[in-house]
Amino acid sequence: MNIKREICIDVNLSPSELAEEFWSMDEAEQATFFNKLGEISSGKLPMQLQYISTSSFLEQRGRMVMQMIGDYS
């Protein structure tokens, strides 16, 4: 006898895992990501980006990515 069960779990991605997932997304998925970020940020994204840009955790590579996104927007 086989019993079929559906199990739901919550998985919290690490920042590294989220970056890997973002990189594997196609154009439409990445656009949807940014659309959702715009939706949930409630206009507070500039303040959040300022916090990140002055963070001691942000490395030069991360700063360059932020700059490139700003340059291409």
pLDDT digits (tens, 9 = 90+) for 5-64: 999 999 999 999 999 999 999 999 999 999 999 999 988 888 998 999 999 999 999 999
Q: What does the pLDDT read at residue 58?
A: 96
Q: What does the pLDDT read at residue 42?
A: 86
With pLDDT > 70 as the criterion, what percentage of the chain qualifies? 100
C-alpha distances out from residue 47 to 38, 44, 50, Å: 13, 5, 5
- Output the pTM of the full model: 0.75
pLDDT confidence band for 68 (50 / 70 / 90): very high
In the chain, the N- to C-terminal Cα span, in Å, equals 57
Neighbour count for residue 14 (Cβ, 10 Å): 8
